[in-house]
Amino acid sequence: MASWHDTSRSVAERAAAVLAELTLVEKAAQLGSSWERPSSRHTGDGDVAPMASAFSGRGLDVAAADGLGHLTRIFGTEPLEVSDGVARLRASQHRVVELNRLGIPAIAHEECLTGFTAFHATVYPAAIAWGATFDPDLIDEMAQAIGEDMRAVGVHQGLSPLLDVVRDYRWGRVEETMGEDPYVVGTIGTAYVQGLQRAGIAATLKHFVGYSASRAARNHAPVPMGRRELEDVMLPSFEMAVRLGGVESVMNSYSDIDNVPVAASYELLTHVLRERWGFTGTVVSDYGAIAFLHLMHHVAADLADAGRLALTAGLDIELPQTVSYAPLATEVAEGRLDEALLDRAVLRVLEQKIRHGLLDPGWDPEAQGDPSRDLDSVRNRDLARRVAEGSIALLANDGILPLQAQTIALVGPVAAEPRSFMGCYAFPNHVLGRYPELGIGLPVVSLAEGLAAELPSSLVVTAPGVPFLAEDRSQLEAAVEAARKADLAVIAVGDLAGMFGTGTSGEGCDCEDLSLPGLQGELVEAVLATGTPTVLLLVSGRPYALGAYASRCRAVVAAFMPGVEGAAAIAGVLSGRLNPSGHLPVAIPDGPGGQPGTYLAAPLGWFSEGVSNLDPRPLFPFGHGLSYTSFACTDLVTDATEVDVAGTVRLTLTVTNTGDRAGAEVVQVYASDPVASVVRPLKQLIGYVKVALEAGQSAEVGVAVHADLFSFTGLGYERIVEPGEIVLSVGTSSEDRPLEARITLTGATRLVGEGRELMSSTTVRTA
């Protein structure tokens, strides 16, 4: 038995033993990958990665001739039955093992942004809906189910979650984020990491870092960001998932921040990630990102130069296939690259393979994967349903909801298109768009079908009116007539996700402003003009401006790409069977322009009367969400009025369900720093908890907040806690904070070292 097969030895010892046996060429091979894209007539009908058609794979036999780091998306690139995918993965692993001298298998990775991106796999709500639940425990449970499915078919690594914080709603990938607040993104993202990794799948944080703050919200555009915004807004969510979640892998951002591409940034990939935070896993490239250093950023003279830059910065593995890392052995042999840098990355890859059992004695490709695994199980559907139900947000309601039995005109493009419930990385949108003969690949009920089933005594008349994006008015009048004849109209508008301009939302589907896509705004105006009482339903991956319509609608509901169980969840909220409990992870703008803008605004970034004629305040603020019952937050007290700059303050309050039915409220705690040495946000979320209560029931909510949560990047670019007043406010949205307490931080300004407290702790005690 080889020494590296000895499971009694430490992971580091085993990895070092393998490394000592590898030749220079074999070392370099461990940092590469192979992506065998389909060779059918559908190839090239639409890329599933940026410029994917510009890179031709070398074929597995060439890529794995001396070993291989990763096998790329065996299941996620074309429609394969589970048995066929398992067989293909086994065959690929057999070939990898046969081709390299030491018989080292490859890590198999897949996408899992809305569940396992595979044919016939459950499509869960998009990540923006996870944020709307404000329920980390539920997302942890969902992630574990996703991970268990992936592990059951032989996968080792999932390329999720996305921890980018939204800075501009026009960005196409807003749907893949968990919202505009670092604390929500960090807490829910960390929960996802923990659930996925509990199932044996290495989670991958992306996109580290800055990707969501591109200029004008254009995909891959430069990020003009100062160090304070980077440190205080963009990095904390990643730090949470690294330090608290123990994430195993991180993926670089395509972005260049202040003119330095992240893929070539030693500062970010090594100093911040490893030296400051203690990350010990692997850094993988976003697809093509290393080659882009030469092809797009123009900071490398050729592909070999790009490979040297990335490896030196701390990027370990090139995905989705070996391009810029192919010359690494030659670069070392000819003295242009230090072999120690190569060894550093190879050790990280080998350690990951050892942790996942790939170098255990007796590992056999034939034993990997269950060809009979049901990827759309009853358990999956139950979880998808619960996440969808917990994410739907009631934004306005004059009492017309819940709906009563009557004639209902369901109009809008969402009505009959269940793919609108899914994100751009859901298999039906991501891949099956190139295979129209296969349909969605899952049993999914449309909103029209779901509403008809929910309200059997009502007559539901469906008319799409207009497409999602195309300028086609041929069915507009029919929809208006249906609304005119009905007792009530439900206008279902929003997004149909796609990739690189093929959808209204999704990767590479950015927008110029936040008007409803295509002619959907015209449809809303035409229906409102009939005078029929109207409920506006937004099913989308980003917020759209609703200020032109909301005051004329009787109710407004937001459902953020709620997945395969979305129709029943939406219909249940409209009927009143379900009491909505979702809250906005992104604000809903009033007007379509004036971007970017989120609730994390400095004083001059908010409304300033007499300074500008433009009012950036939203129509519905971050954190907002109504219910069919009512809640009251009362009796806020703190355990002290003076707290040391290294101390902890404890808040308690009472939340009561003052209505006549059970429901759940999201109690939110914000902090404000009235006077600081640098400009601070007017308010920032530092804690939240979702509290479920029966009618008339109360609960005592406790929140312990360490002074580290009041810290920020000071004048000297060091993280500090300053003495002085802090205002703590509690409520149910960023703009509805009726309870307030003031504390004074005492002592001298404190430098906050690495390892700071990142989360508050909450307790709920029901009466």
pLDDT in tens, 365-400: 999 999 999 999 999 999 999 999 999 999 999 999
- Please tell me which residue, 46 or 195, carries the higher pLDDT value: 195
Entry pTM: 0.97
Q: In what order do the strands lie in the sheet with 393-397?
A: 393-397, 555-559, 534-539, 488-494, 407-411, 459-463
Report whether pLDDT(534) > 90: yes
Specify the pLDDT at position 151.
98
pLDDT tens digits along 479-525: 999 999 999 999 999 999 999 999 999 999 999 999 999 999 999 99
Report whether pLDDT(255) > 60: yes
CA–CA separation, 401 and 495 (whole Å): 23
CA–CA separation, 378 and 66 (whole Å): 43
Report whether pLDDT(718) > 50: yes
Specify the pLDDT at position 53.
59
Element spanning 252, H or E: strand 249-252
Q: What is the mean pLDDT of the chain?
A: 96
Specify the pLDDT at position 143.
98
Tally: H helices and E strands in the chain: 20, 27
Residue whose token pair is 């009959």: 416
CATH 2.60.40.10 domain position(s) in the chain: 631-766
CA–CA separation, 766 and 120 (whole Å): 42
Least confident segment among 449-458, 577-586, 601-610, 700-709: 601-610
Contact 169, 177 (CB under 8 A): no
pLDDT tens digits along 13-42: 999 999 999 999 999 999 999 998 775 544
Which CATH architecture is the domain 21-367 placed in? Alpha-Beta Barrel (3.20)
3-state DSSP of 514-556: CCCCCCHHHHHHHHHCCCCCEEEEEECCCCCCCCCCHHHCCEE
Mean pLDDT, to the nearest integer, of 100-116? 97
Least confident segment among 369-378, 592-601, 640-649: 592-601
Query: pLDDT category, 174, cuts 50, 70, 90?
Result: very high
The superfamily CATH assigns to domain 631-766 is Immunoglobulins (2.60.40.10)
3-state DSSP of 147-162: HHHHHHCCCCEEECCE
Residues in the chain, how many? 767
Mean pLDDT, to the nearest integer, of 201-208? 98
Specify the pLDDT at position 58.
74
Report whether pLDDT(56) > 90: no
Fold observed for domain 388-605 = Rossmann fold (3.40.50)
Specify the pLDDT at position 39.
57
Give the whole-number percent of the chain exceeding pLDDT 90: 94
Contact 738, 633 (CB under 8 A): yes
In this structure, what token pair is assigned to residue 713? 């990047």
Specify the pLDDT at position 697.
98
Report whether pLDDT(43) > 70: no
Strand extents, DSSP E, 299-387: none
Mean pLDDT, to the nearest integer, of 726-731? 98
CATH 3.40.50.1700 domain position(s) in the chain: 388-605
In this structure, what token pair is assigned to residue 551? 């005051």
Specify the pLDDT at position 44.
46
Specify the pLDDT at position 2.
87
Rounded CA Rg of the chain:
26
Mean pLDDT, to the nearest integer, of 303-332? 98
Specify the pLDDT at position 611.
85
In this structure, what token pair is assigned to residue 761? 């702790």
Mean pLDDT, to the nearest integer, of 241-251? 98
Query: pLDDT category, 242, cuts 50, 70, 90?
Result: very high
CATH 3.20.20.300 domain position(s) in the chain: 21-367
Which residues sit opposite 703 in a β-bridge? 651, 762
Residue whose token pair is 């400051």: 276
